[in-house]
Structure 1
Amino acid sequence: MRVTGAAYPPRLSQRCTADIDISGEQIELYCDNELVSQTSFEQLTLSDSVGNLPVRVSFPDGWVFVPEQNKDIDCLLQKKGRKSLRIRKIESNLWLILVSIIFCVAMLFAGYRYGIPWFSHYAARMLPERVPAFVGEKILEQLDEQFETSHIPAKQQQAIRARVDLLQQQLPPMPFPVKIEFRDSEIANAFALPGGTIVLLDPLVELAESDQQLDGVILHEMGHVYHRHMMTRLVESSLTAVVVASLTGDTSGVVHQMIGAGVFVMNTGLSRDMERQADQFAKQAMLKIYHTSEPMAAMFELLRQQRHIQHMPDWLSSHPNFSERIESMRQP
């Protein structure tokens, strides 16, 4: 079998018209019809064939042969275990490349949108109890750099904690014991940490006009604890970070990823779906304990007024807008 192409002498860029003669296991190279090199098939070296790029056939003495068309040496490629002509055609097919790109993007999107949340939901429930407790403690330590010591009187703090103990007795079993912490800040807010800790900020406690209004907020945060929302989000954020770090080669400890993600989530909030789920948990609890969810609607009214004072638009908030939440609380 004779294949036409071009040849390059050892360590020279000079080009000459050449042929190779393939006879069984023996390969002979002819440059301008003169035999310049020969070798056995085992000693022959072929470059990788990518798309339509020419394959370089290297001889042990340094001669290099480049065929006019890769298909002419397809038999050599197959013997060397390289890509066949059919595979090279697939690699150079623009439509197949485009379809492959779209498929990969779709798989990445599906994994991020559905796969990671699904896995995070179950992984958060499989973690040993000491992991959420440890992560929650570390997140609170970091958040304490932003907060001040609470100014709520100790007697009032004790009364709130005692009331929460009574609430827990009338609710479904919590995955973690609920612990109430008080901190001071400029914002009326409350949030639940992994491990069952709920932090109440002084402006929120002072804003509530009744115990039932404050209990509505606490029950909302207990809904996050019950559904393990915080841990689910942390696993999801950490898993995403670990995947990205693995792809980029910049890896670090998963626990540190969780703590860093926890501080970020506490500052940006949970998803709106999680907030709605916690609202429904609180509403059902209010109806069971107080036979009305109106105190929660009233508390949302007070928080909406605070939000307007702070000039924060709804689209910047991770929570559903207050009109939706108030209407939900007042629906039968």
Structure 2
Amino acid sequence: MRVSGVAYPPRLSQRCSADIDISGEQIKLCCDHQMVSQTSLEQLTLSDSVGNLPVRVSFPDGWVFVPDQNKDIDCLLQKKGRKSLRIRKVESNLWLIFVSIVFCIAMLFAGYRYGIPWFSHYAARMLPDGVPVFVGEKILDQLDEQFETSHIPVQQQQAIRKRVALFQQQLPPMPFPVQIEFRGSDIANAFALPGGKIVLLDPLVELAQSDQQLDGVILHEMGHIYHRHMMTRLVESSLTAVVVASLTGDTSGVVHQMIGAGVFVMNTGLSRDMERQADQFAKQAMLKIYHTSEPMAAMFELLQQQQMRHTPDWLSSHPNFSERIESMRQP
């Protein structure tokens, strides 16, 4: 089999019309009808075929042959284990490239939207108990830079803790013992941390007009603990951060990622689905303990009145108060 093209002598830029004769395992190079080089297929070197760029065939003595068309040396490419003409056509097919890009984007989106949350849900339950406790303590240490010492009377704090201890005896077993922490702040809020801690801010305690109203909020946070929402979100955020860090080459410890993600989540809130799930846990607990969920609806109304400005529903991680109030009052 003969293939036409051009050849370049060793260490020279001049070229000549040439052809190679492929006979079994022997390759002969002829330049201007004179044989200038000969070698075996094993000693022959072929450059990678990229797009429509010509393939360069290099001989051991320095001669280089470039065929007129890459398809003419397709048999050499296949013998040397390189990409065949068919594969090169597939790689240069713009439609297939477009479909591949769309497929990759769809897979990335599906992994982020469904794969990571699914994995995080189960991973949060597989972690040793010491990890959530440690992470929760470290998150609280960082958040304490924003908070002040609580001014709630010690007797009132003790009474709240006693009620929570009784709740734990009446409700499904918690993955961690619930501990109530009090902190001073200028906002009415409460949040659960990994490891079982619930932080109540003074304005929230002072806003509640009855023990039942405050208990509704506490039970809501216990719902987050029961479903391990915080740890699930932290694993999800940390996993995403680790993947991005790995791609950029900036890797660090997963536990440190969790602590940083925990502070972020505390400032941005959990997902709406998690908030609704915690609301339902609290509602069922209120019905079991107090035989009514009306105090929770009343507390939501008080919190709604406390909002200094309206936040659009699509910007809030919580379901809007109207939806939550209606949910509490449904039979």
TM range (shorter): over 0.9
- Distance in 2 (alpha carbons) for counterparts of 1:12 and 1:146: 73
- Distance in 2 (alpha carbons) for counterparts of 1:331 and 1:132: 35
1:184-199, aligned counterparts within 5 Å? 184-199=184-199
| TM superposition shift of 1:310 | 4.0
**Corresponding residue for residue 287 of structure 2:** 287
Does 2:320 match 1:317? no
- Distance in 2 (alpha carbons) for counterparts of 1:17 and 1:327: 87
- Distance in 1 (alpha carbons) for counterparts of 2:327 and 2:4: 79
Letter in 1 for 2:261: A
1:205-244, aligned counterparts within 5 Å? 205-244=205-244
Q: Deviations over 1:13-39 (max 9, x none)?
A: 333332111122222222333333222
Q: Deviations over 1:235-269 (max 9, x none)?
A: 11111122222223221111111111111111111
1:1-332, aligned counterparts within 5 Å? 1-307=1-307, 309-332=308-331
- Distance in 2 (alpha carbons) for counterparts of 1:12 and 1:218: 84
Letter in 1 for 2:234: L
- Distance in 1 (alpha carbons) for counterparts of 2:187 and 2:230: 20
- Distance in 2 (alpha carbons) for counterparts of 1:14 and 1:64: 11
| TM superposition shift of 1:137 | 0.7
Residue 37 of structure 2 aligns to a residue whose secondary structure is strand
Q: Deviations over 1:80-126 (max 9, x none)?
A: 11111221111111121112112111111111111111111111111
Q: Contact 1:58/1:64 (CA < 8 Å) preserved in 2?
A: yes
- Distance in 2 (alpha carbons) for counterparts of 1:299 and 1:135: 30
| TM superposition shift of 1:296 | 0.7
- Number of residues of Structure 1 aligned to a counterpart in Structure 2: 331
- Distance in 2 (alpha carbons) for counterparts of 1:213 and 1:117: 32
| TM superposition shift of 1:270 | 0.4
| TM superposition shift of 1:69 | 1.6
Percent identical: 90
Letter in 1 for 2:316: S
Superposition RMSD in Å: 1.4
Residue 48 of structure 2 aligns to a residue whose secondary structure is coil
| TM superposition shift of 1:50 | 3.0
| TM superposition shift of 1:147 | 1.2
Letter in 2 for 1:98: F
Letter in 1 for 2:251: T
- Distance in 2 (alpha carbons) for counterparts of 1:270 and 1:202: 21
Q: Deviations over 1:268-293 (max 9, x none)?
A: 11000000000000011111111111
Q: Contact 1:213/1:295 (CA < 8 Å) preserved in 2?
A: yes
Structure 2 gaps, min length 5: none
Q: Contact 1:50/1:91 (CA < 8 Å) preserved in 2?
A: no
- Distance in 1 (alpha carbons) for counterparts of 2:264 and 2:4: 64
Q: Classify 1:211/1:48 alpha carbon distance in 2 versus 1 (closer, same or farther; 3 Å).
A: same
- Distance in 1 (alpha carbons) for counterparts of 2:188 and 2:14: 79
Q: Contact 1:217/1:296 (CA < 8 Å) preserved in 2?
A: yes
Q: Deviations over 1:45-103 (max 9, x none)?
A: 11112333321111222222221221111111111111112211111111211121121
Residue 328 of structure 2 aligns to a residue whose secondary structure is helix
- Greater CA drift, 26-35 or 150-159: 26-35
- Distance in 1 (alpha carbons) for counterparts of 2:256 and 2:326: 40
- Distance in 2 (alpha carbons) for counterparts of 1:147 and 1:18: 82
- Distance in 2 (alpha carbons) for counterparts of 1:247 and 1:25: 45
